[in-house]
């Protein structure tokens, strides 16, 4: 059985949770399913597609309200 921590990892001067609050405040990570991730070459293209989908959704909502 392998040890959980290798001897070369030294965390004796580390501070637990040092960046946890900052991370929680400013990060919104979404995990894509593999088949969806395969459709996009990078995060920029994912964001572009999501912005387009959001814009279409807004337009559809405005059409429903106008009826």
Backbone φ and ψ for 47, nearest 5 degrees, come out as -65, -40
**Residues with Cβ within 8 Å of residue 8, at least 6 apart in sequence:** none
Domain ranges of the chain: 41-67
Output the pLDDT for position 20. 87
Alpha-carbon distance values, 49 to 21, 42, 58 (Å): 29, 11, 14
- Give the up-direction half-sphere exposure of residue 38: CA atoms within 13 A in the CB hemisphere: 3
Output the pLDDT for position 67. 67
User: What are the pLDDT tens digits along the chain (67 aa)?
Assistant: 677 888 888 888 999 999 888 888 887 888 999 999 999 999 999 999 999 999 999 999 887 777 6
């Amino acid at each position: 059985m392998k040890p959980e921590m290798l001897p070369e990892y030294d965390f004796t001067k580390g501070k637990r949770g040092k960046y946890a609050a900052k991370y929680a405040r400013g990060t919104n990570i979404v995990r894509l399913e593999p088949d969806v991730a395969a459709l996009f070459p990078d995060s920029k293209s994912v964001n572009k597609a999501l912005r387009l989908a959001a814009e279409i959704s807004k337009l559809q909502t405005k059409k429903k309200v106008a009826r």
